[in-house]
Amino acid sequence: MRDKYLITTVILMLLAALAIPTVVLAAADTFPEVISLPVGFRPEGIAVGKGHTFYTGSLANGAIYRGDLRTGEGAILVPGQAGRLAVGMSFDERSGNLFVAGGPTGQAFIYDGNTGEEMAVYSLGAGFINDVIVTDQAAYFTNSSAAEYYKLPLGPVGALPDQSAVQTIDLTGDWVQASGFNANGIEATSNGKLLIIVNSTRGELYRVDPLSGYATLIDLGGGSVIAGDGLLFNGSSLYVVQNQLNQIVKIDLDEQLVSGAIVDTLTSQDFDVPTTAAAFGNALYAVNARFGNLDPNNADYQAVRVPLNK
């Protein structure tokens, strides 16, 4: 009996020891649903960097905020400057650089994602430089005011080029330029051989050859992505943030990226005109731009976590 008691006690102790890591992991996997940003920050773009670091930029003065998705804490990495704006952004894991679209400045700003040092400033074109995506070959920037986009070729390990390397590429093919905001969010396939650009005003998605600018309208079977803003590939699905609709739609595309269907709609009670989204783990993170707020420089802003329906 004594031996059985000892064996039972040892087994119970082992089970208890094994259960401890499970509790710790569960606690570590708890991420805040809403992350507060500085008052008056006016975010538009968001990107995930190394680990659970995230970045967002300010429409007020171009400041860059760096935060932690796990703790919800953060601080200003790049101080704001008069005359600057930060719109869409993309993080290059190879170099650790953060690429930022400069809106009406017509510029692109590149910062060191660790120190905040300004690595380069490029003049792109007149209009509204809205979003950017970084591939192994280049960084591509959209212009919401013109039927063109810009290519910034990158060297080995994401090395930055001179200003003279910037290329302006016209959008042709099926592309239709409407009045108002046109090309907005931009994404790329994993190999960088194809781009996808959303036309916010027309509610359309286009597959674009990054070298020629030839655009093919993606058949959504009658579906619309009106007010489409940020784009995000996550796995084989494309997510489109529809800012004024306070939702993110999930689109399944065929292998050639010429047709697709809206298969899910994600929303949150905490959305207030989300503009762009980034992915981490089993969730998307969208920033509330809160367009239309009567006192934007004194308003509260947030990044909102949205679990993925899988």
Residue 190: pLDDT above 80?
yes
- The three-state secondary structure class of 243 is helix
pLDDT band at 29 (very low <50, low <70, confident <90, very high): low
Q: What are phi and psi of 265, to 5 degrees?
A: -130, 125
Over residues 84-113, the mean pLDDT reads 98
Distance of CA 30 to the CA centre of its chain: 22
pLDDT value of position 96: 98
Say which range, 1-10, 159-168, 179-188, 250-259, has the weakest mean pLDDT: 1-10
Average pLDDT over residues 198-215: 98
pTM of the predicted protein model: 0.90
User: What is the amino acid identity at position 247?
Assistant: Q
Q: Are 194 and 257 in contact (CB under 8 A)?
A: yes
**pLDDT for the residue 30:** 85
